[in-house]
Copies of this chain bind each other. A is one copy, B any other.
Amino acid sequence: MSTAGLTFPEGVIAATLTPMHRDLSADIDMLVGHVRFLLENGCNGIALLGTTGEANSFSSTERKAILEGILLGGISPDKIVVGTGCCSFPETVELTNHAMSHGVGGVLMLPPFYYKQIDDDGLFEYFKLVLQKVDRVGLHIYLYNFPKLSGIAYTPALIGRLIDRYPAQIAGIKDSSGDFSNMSALARSFPEFRVYTGTEKFLLDLLNEGGAGTISATVNIYSNLAAEVYSKWQEGSKEASELQKKLTTRRTALDGIPFVPLLKAIIARRSGNDQWLHLRPPHHLFEPHVIGEFS
């Protein structure tokens, strides 16, 4: 699929980690280096400050500084989608306006995730309020569906209402539900709406259903392999299927392990740079049993 007017790429998008100094402040130079590495190794774009980037462990002030930092470091804003969905609408509005004023390709929006027993009407009211208060010119929102962490699902019915009301702004979804039937149904139901799978296990299958690609944590450590699947699919090559099997096997080996400490541990081992081991609590360091296979 392709959607007119969207600058953010389809394909393989890494939800980047956020490297830190010993004092747990973000290390912008290291982050710029890592993002550049990902873009040079097969990633079409970057999701900044998502779950993997420990977004919710940073204050709004810090989040704005991190985005500014990587743009100053020379990363093209078109390649960036940035997480701006907070529990409170004033913070969501503030981060969204900040991101758009820096020309990013889009924002990735969690639903407000503290309260539960929340229905579609409540979420629709929330989006209505946010969209009243942000600059909507050029705004592209990618919904961030991760019910296991947020406790809130973007239902197909709600997505349909949002697209009807805000067709120019509601650009797509990162679906981290892990439910392929949900993402393929979204791709089929809303052809102008970009559906990225949150796990690259479904990359090829979702592309074949009209999906846009993957926005994934784990492609931080094997972006080239995911990119090969995508490019072989674009070429219509049968090799895509074999490569997807390999990608799925690698990804399946990581099932059930908390991603943030896992990925930081793997990259620390691989790079020989222990600064990668710094994490903000409540995440903490551990020695994943699978680390050897990836380092």
Interface residues, chain A, with chain B CB atoms under 8 Å away: 24, 51, 56-62, 87-91, 94, 111-118, 121-123, 125-126, 128-129, 148-152, 258, 260, 280-284
12 interchain pairs, CB-CB under 8 A = A24-B129, A59-B90, A61-B90, A62-B88, A62-B90, A113-B114, A122-B282, A122-B284, A125-B284, A126-B281, A126-B282, A149-B151
Q: Which residues on the B side are within 8 Å of A281 (C-beta)?
A: 89, 112, 122-123, 125-126, 128-129
Copies in the complex: 2
Q: Which residues on the B side are within 8 Å of A122 (C-beta)?
A: 281-284
When the two chains form the complex, which single residue of B62, B125, B258 contacts A282, counting CB atoms closer than 8 Å? B125
A268: min CB distance to chain B, Å: 18
A150: nearest chain-B partner, CB-CB: B114
CA distance A283 to B118 in the complex (A): 7
A199: min CB distance to chain B, Å: 16
Most buried by B among A24, A89, A151, A281: A281
Known contacts A57-B88, A88-B58, A90-B59: does B149 contact A116 (CB below 8 Å)? yes
Q: Which residues on the B side are within 8 Å of A123 (C-beta)?
A: 281-282
When the two chains form the complex, which single residue of B57, B94, B129 contacts A112, counting CB atoms closer than 8 Å? B57
Contact: B89 with A280, CB < 8 Å?
A: yes
Known contacts A122-B282, A125-B282, A282-B122: does B89 contact A57 (CB below 8 Å)? yes
Q: Which residues on the B side are within 8 Å of A61 (C-beta)?
A: 90
Q: Which residues on the B side are within 8 Å of A149 (C-beta)?
A: 114-116, 151
CA distance A88 to B91 in the complex (A): 13
Contact: A121 with B88, CB < 8 Å?
A: no
A116: min CB distance to chain B, Å: 6
Q: Which residues on the B side are within 8 Å of A59 (C-beta)?
A: 60, 88, 90-91, 94
A101: min CB distance to chain B, Å: 18
Beyond A62-B90, A89-B280, A122-B283: 9 further Cβ-contacts under 8 Å?
A: A24-B129, A51-B114, A58-B88, A58-B90, A59-B94, A112-B281, A112-B282, A122-B284, A152-B282
Q: Which residues on the B side are within 8 Å of A115 (C-beta)?
A: 51, 56-57, 149, 260, 282-283
A144: min CB distance to chain B, Å: 12
Q: Which residues on the B side are within 8 Å of A258 (C-beta)?
A: 117
Contact: B90 with A56, CB < 8 Å?
A: no
Contact: A87 with B283, CB < 8 Å?
A: no
Most buried by B among A51, A62, A87, A129: A87
Contact: B148 with A56, CB < 8 Å?
A: no
CA distance A60 to B115 in the complex (A): 17
Q: Which residues on the B side are within 8 Å of A121 (C-beta)?
A: 284
A116: nearest chain-B partner, CB-CB: B149
A148: nearest chain-B partner, CB-CB: B116
CA distance A282 to B281 in the complex (A): 27
